[in-house]
Amino acid sequence: MTVPPRNTGFFTEPLADRDADVFAAITGELGRQRDEIEL
């Protein structure tokens, strides 16, 4: 009995390619935290 190879694309693909909306949200939040003053 042979085991078929697992698809590891989910963990090896860049997030920008896998889910562009999530990538944009994370990138925007990172920029907000770096560039804006929170009072």
Q: What is the pLDDT of residue 33?
A: 93
Q: What is the pLDDT of residues 1-39, one digit of tens each?
A: 687 777 667 788 999 999 999 999 999 999 999 999 877
- The domain segmentation of the chain, as residue ranges, is 12-38
Q: What is the pLDDT of residue 19?
A: 93
Tokens at 19, concatenated:
């889910």
Long-range contacts (CB closer than 8 Å, 24 or more residues apart) made by 16-19: none
Q: What is the pLDDT of residue 14?
A: 93
Q: Is 31 helix (H, G, I), strand (E, B) or coil?
A: helix
Q: Are 26 and 16 in contact (CB under 8 A)?
A: no
Q: What is the pLDDT of residue 3?
A: 75
Q: Are 16 and 25 in contact (CB under 8 A)?
A: no
Q: What is the pLDDT of residue 12?
A: 87
